[in-house]
């Protein structure tokens, strides 16, 4: 397995119209979860990826499991829990691709993940471990699982890629800031947005965010700037890469796609600015349609988009 990730996936209830949820009556059932979105993206780009989690032993959990297996993601490390449900989340559409989320995930199967579930023998041979700042917000045992996996990865020479993915509905900034900073300091690659950068460093300036995180111990930092592109710092190299302009339909999932693009660029041995450009293209494509992972491209589609010959 080249890439390993773990975290919570949920069923997403996606409304058929914009506006306050109390007036929406029809929803489409979809799949969501930052790490599984990432895993699908990596798999569609042609790399081997394993996703580890706990799912409820219920139809929602089985649907997620089958869906990911159908996407070519290795799900052999998934544990079904018959005492806790699969998590659920509702999206509210605010127009122009903007969203608000409502979680029904407290006490979910995934929130009972433990360090022992992410056993290193499962991922021997892996080059990358991808973790997000959502998992440590879910429960104490999830937080322990993240720290122990990061330490194990480092001991085994596996590069740790960290997307802070701050979710205000799960925890407050005072609690999240120090934890996210601690994980970032142990990571080889950190992929914050500007808000997450501010949370971890106190600065809104991408260059300062990157240099502060590197000063704390992070290897490389790529700060996401949305449609404007990204600012990177890797070794002695730094600079800005221009983004891609698309019509945004649903903003959720862009960061996961970005991370997958960057990781796939690294696995393919691309120079940093080109890996960042691929990451930006992935982020752009992810927002062009509804759903958190559905619009992720196959490698040929990504190449066509990046060469300007179509989506």
Find the residue with minimal CB distance to ligand KDG: 32
What's the token pair of residue 106? 């407290």
Determine the Cα–Cα distance for residues 196 and 99; give it in Å rounded to an integer.
18
Catalytic residue among 14, 256, 268, 292: 256
143 binds ligand KDG (CB under 6 A): no
Q: Are 298 and 257 in contact (CB under 8 A)?
A: no
Per-position x/- string for 152-191, each x denoting binding to ligand KDG as judged by CB under 6 A, each - no binding: ---------------x------------------------
The total of other beta-carbon atoms located within 10 Å of residue 22's CB is 6
Distances (CA, A) of 297 to 12, 181, 278, 289: 20, 31, 12, 12
Q: Of 14, 71, 74, 256, which one interacts with ligand KDG (CB under 6 A)? A: 256
- Nearer to ligand KDG by Cβ, of 143 and 154: the residue is 143
Interface of this chain with ligand KDG, residues 13 to 32, rule: CB under 6 A: 32
At which residue do the structure tokens 């780009």 appear?
45
Are the C-beta atoms of 215 and 249 separated by less than 8 Å? no
- Residue 256 is among the residues annotated as catalytic for this protein: yes
- Containing H/E element for 230? strand 229-234
Instruction: Report d(CA 212, CA 189) in Å as an integer.
Output: 13
Binding range to ligand KDG, per CB under 6 A, among 16-24, 33-41, 63-71, 278-286: 33-41
- Residue 41 vs 213, nearer CB to ligand KDG: 41
272 binds ligand KDG (CB under 6 A): no
Is residue 253 a contact residue for ligand KDG (CB under 6 A)?
yes
**Are 238 and 207 a contacting pair, CB within 8 Å?**
yes
Instruction: Please report whether residue 295 would count as binding ligand KDG according to CB under 6 A.
Output: no
Using the contact rule CB under 6 A, the part of the chain among 152-160, 172-180, 237-245, 250-258 near ligand KDG is 250-258
Q: Any contact of residue 229 with ligand KDG (CB under 6 A)?
A: no
Closest CA to 233 of 215, 251, 249, 250: 215
**Closest separation in Å from C-beta 306 to ligand KDG:** 22
Q: How far is the CB of 157 from ligand KDG (least distance, A)?
A: 28
Q: What is the DSSP letter of 298?
A: P
Q: Please give the Cα distance from 112 to 84 (Å, whole number).
A: 9
Q: Which CB sits closer to ligand KDG, 45 or 252?
A: 252
Backbone angles phi, psi at 100, to 5 degrees: -130, 150
Which one, 32 or 42, has the nearer CB to ligand KDG? Answer: 32
Q: Dig out the tokens for 273 from the structure.
A: 């600015």
Q: Which stretch binds ligand KDG (CB under 6 A): 76-84, 185-193, 252-260, 283-291?
A: 252-260
Helix (H, G, I), strand (E, B) or coil at 260: helix
- Interface residue with ligand KDG, options 49, 78, 134, 153 (CB under 6 A): 134
Q: Contacts with ligand KDG: how many residues (CB under 6 A)?
A: 12
Is residue 37 within the footprint of ligand KDG (CB under 6 A)? Answer: yes
Complex with ligand KDG: residue 192 or 253, whichever CB lies closer: 253
Q: Looking at the annotation, which residues are catalytic?
A: 256
Question: What does the binding site for ligand KDG look like in residue numbers (CB under 6 A)?
Answer: 32-34, 37, 101, 134, 167, 252-253, 255-256, 292
């Amino acid at each position: 397995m080249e890439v390993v990730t773990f975290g919570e996936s949920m069923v997403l209830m996606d409304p058929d119209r914009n506006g306050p949820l109390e007036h929406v009556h029809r929803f489409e059932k979809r799949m969501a979860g930052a790490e599984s979105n990432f895993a699908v993206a990596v798999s569609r780009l042609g790399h081997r990826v394993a996703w580890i989690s706990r799912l409820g032993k219920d139809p929602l959990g089985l649907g997620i499991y089958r869906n990911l297996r159908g996407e070519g993601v290795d799900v052999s490390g998934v544990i079904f829990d018959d005492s806790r449900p699969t998590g659920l989340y509702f999206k509210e559409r605010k127009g122009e691709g903007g969203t608000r989320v409502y979680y029904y995930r407290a006490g979910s199967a995934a929130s009972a993940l433990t360090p022992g579930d992410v056993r290193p023998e499962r991922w021997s041979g892996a080059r990358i471990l991808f973790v997000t700042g959502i998992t440590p917000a879910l429960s104490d045992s999830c937080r322990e699982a993240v720290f122990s996996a990061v330490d194990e990865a480092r001991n085994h020479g596996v590069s740790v890629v960290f997307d802070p993915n701050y979710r205000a509905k799960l925890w407050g900034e005072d609690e999240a800031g120090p934890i996210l900073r601690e994980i970032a300091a142990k990571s080889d690659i950190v992929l914050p947005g500007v808000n997450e950068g501010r949370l971890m460093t106190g600065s809104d300036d991408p260059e300062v965010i990157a240099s502060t995180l590197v000063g704390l111990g992070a290897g490389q930092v790529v700060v996401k700037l949305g449609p404007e592109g990204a600012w990177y710092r890797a070794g002695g190299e730094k600079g800005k890469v221009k983004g891609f302009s698309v019509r945004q339909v649903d903003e959720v999932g862009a960061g996961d796609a970005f991370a997958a693009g960057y990781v796939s660029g690294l696995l393919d041995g691309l120079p940093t600015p080109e890996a960042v450009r691929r990451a930006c293209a992935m982020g752009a494509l992810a927002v062009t349609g509804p759903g958190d992972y559905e619009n992720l491209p196959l490698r040929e589609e990504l190449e066509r988009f990046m060469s300007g010959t179509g989506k």
